[in-house]
């Protein structure tokens, strides 16, 4: 009861989901007869599990790598069974079974850290949907008694509540951000773009006046008018790009591939730069996560616009392909321009902040490197959903 009360207090606090679930795992660990605890939830995208809370085991970082290696050898993952069947899964003598099974060999050292015997996986359920699982490793003794199973069921309900609450907060914040982006786009278009247009018209009028002036004033006024007109044209191009980027989900409206082709054609038309686009044609069909495809689109868009703006290229090559195991997406945007010093790019003046924020949302990364000629922007992102074949294999 004390553990439940403390967990409820954590759920109601302002802590992050990882902090709440980590505290919950620690509370469960204090209960008699429990040797180890893990709480897993789905990462953004809904088809890749992540370890959000752990107690008892050390070297937590290697857990999923070892688990995947065992799964690839044919080991059965009880966590997936409990979530798939939406019920608590109890496996007496699980430790001995795993140590005797060669398919579990990558996990042998890991599971031997603790003195445990039985395994219980309890799904985190909300509105009939499995959000993750609470896995507990029971010490030798009474085993999975009804009291322990009821306790784990209650803790799983608290964990599901915390996950559900965090998901709702995330969705609400996303909705607020979308509305704010729409408002900014509208204000830019209705106010700033129009003012810049007016400045351009005044500059052209000034150029006309310069032609009626005499030396030495005429060439000076004409030069100023020409310079202002050029600056206005550049600002208008940048503003159009900003307004377009702020519009709601371009990839959701058109689809990822059509949106990228439209982006490339627009850049070719406005800037006279050739864009060579090579994108996995099955990516959008396999990845059923609009937020992921939108982030992919925005990363490519930002990298393209940065290349055009900073590097003066004649050609930009864009590729987005999944690696052999189809679990990671690699995006490369490579230009043949002037090149940007890596240290300058790392100071975030090359638009890295926005791209890295989007990539890190999925556990990915973005790096800028100098090529023999030009610059390469590489983003690598775990794919949140890779179609039925990979889904059937499971990830934990």
In this predicted structure, what is the pLDDT of residue 246? Answer: 66
- Residue whose entry in the numeric block shows the structure tokens 């937590």: 60
In this predicted structure, what is the pLDDT of residue 3? Answer: 52
- SS3 for 348? helix
CATH class, range 251-396: alpha beta
What span, in angstroms and rounded, lies between the C-alpha atoms of 172 and 214? 63
Contact 243, 305 (CB under 8 A): no
Contact 221, 206 (CB under 8 A): yes
What span, in angstroms and rounded, lies between the C-alpha atoms of 332 and 262? 18
Query: 221 Cβ partners below 8 Å, 6+ apart?
Result: 206, 209, 210, 213
Query: 201 Cβ partners below 8 Å, 6+ apart?
Result: none
In this predicted structure, what is the pLDDT of residue 89? Answer: 94
- Residue 190, CB-side half-sphere exposure with 13 Å CA sphere: 6
**pTM value?**
0.54
In this predicted structure, what is the pLDDT of residue 385? Answer: 53
**In terms of CATH, what superfamily is 2-170?**
GAF domain (3.30.450.40)
In this predicted structure, what is the pLDDT of residue 311? Answer: 85
In this predicted structure, what is the pLDDT of residue 244? Answer: 65
Length of the chain: 396
Q: What residue segments make up the domains of the chain, in order of their start?
A: 2-170, 251-396
In this predicted structure, what is the pLDDT of residue 63? Answer: 85
* Average pLDDT of adjacent 10-residue blocks, the chain of 396 residues: 49 66 89 92 66 83 84 89 91 95 94 94 89 93 91 92 81 74 74 81 86 84 88 79 65 80 88 91 75 88 88 92 82 87 51 84 89 91 59 38
- Kindly list the distances between the CA atom of residue 392 and the CA atoms of 31, 277, 367, in Å, as whole numbers in the listed order: 35, 31, 33
What span, in angstroms and rounded, lies between the C-alpha atoms of 381 and 383? 6
In this predicted structure, what is the pLDDT of residue 317? Answer: 95
What span, in angstroms and rounded, lies between the C-alpha atoms of 370 and 175? 38
């Amino acid at each position: 009861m004390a553990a439940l009360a403390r967990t409820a207090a954590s759920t109601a606090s302002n802590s992050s989901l990882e902090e709440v679930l980590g505290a919950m795992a620690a509370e469960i660990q204090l209960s008699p007869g429990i040797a180890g605890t893990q709480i897993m939830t789905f990462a953004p995208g809904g088809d890749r599990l992540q370890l959000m809370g752990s107690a008892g085991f050390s070297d937590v970082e290697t857990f999923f790598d070892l688990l995947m290696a065992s799964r690839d050898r044919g080991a059965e993952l009880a966590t997936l069974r409990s979530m798939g069947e939406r019920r608590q899964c109890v496996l007496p003598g699980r430790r001995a079974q795993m140590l005797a099974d060669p398919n579990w060999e990558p996990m042998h050292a890991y599971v031997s850290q603790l003195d445990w015997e039985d395994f219980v996986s309890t799904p985190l359920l909300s509105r009939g949907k499995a959000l993750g699982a609470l896995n507990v490793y029971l010490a030798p003794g009474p085993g999975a008694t009804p009291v322990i199973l009821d306790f784990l069921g209650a803790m799983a309900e608290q964990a599901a509540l915390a996950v559900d609450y965090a998901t709702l907060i995330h969705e609400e914040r996303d909705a607020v951000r979308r509305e704010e982006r729409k408002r900014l786009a509208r204000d830019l278009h209705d106010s700033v773009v129009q003012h810049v247009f007016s400045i351009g018209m005044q500059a052209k009028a000034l150029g006309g006046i310069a032609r009626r002036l005499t030396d030495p004033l005429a060439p000076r006024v004409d030069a100023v008018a020409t310079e202002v007109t050029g600056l206005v044209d550049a600002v208008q191009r940048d503003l159009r790009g900003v307004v377009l980027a702020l519009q709601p989900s371009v990839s959701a409206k058109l689809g990822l591939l059509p949106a990228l082709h439209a982006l490339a054609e627009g850049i070719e038309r406005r800037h006279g730069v050739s864009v060579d686009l090579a994108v996995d044609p099955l990516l959008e069909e396999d990845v059923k996560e609009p937020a992921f495809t939108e982030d992919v689109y925005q990363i490519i868009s930002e990298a393209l616009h940065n290349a055009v703006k900073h590097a003066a290229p004649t050609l930009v090559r864009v590729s987005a392909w999944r690696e052999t195991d189809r679990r990671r997406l690699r995006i490369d945007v490579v230009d043949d321009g002037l090149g940007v010093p890596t240290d300058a790019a790392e100071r975030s003046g090359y638009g890295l902040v926005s791209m890295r924020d989007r990539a890190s949302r999925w556990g990915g990364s973005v790096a800028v490197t100098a090529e023999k000629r030009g610059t390469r922007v590489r983003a690598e992102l775990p794919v949140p959903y890779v179609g039925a074949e990979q889904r059937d294999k499971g990830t934990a």
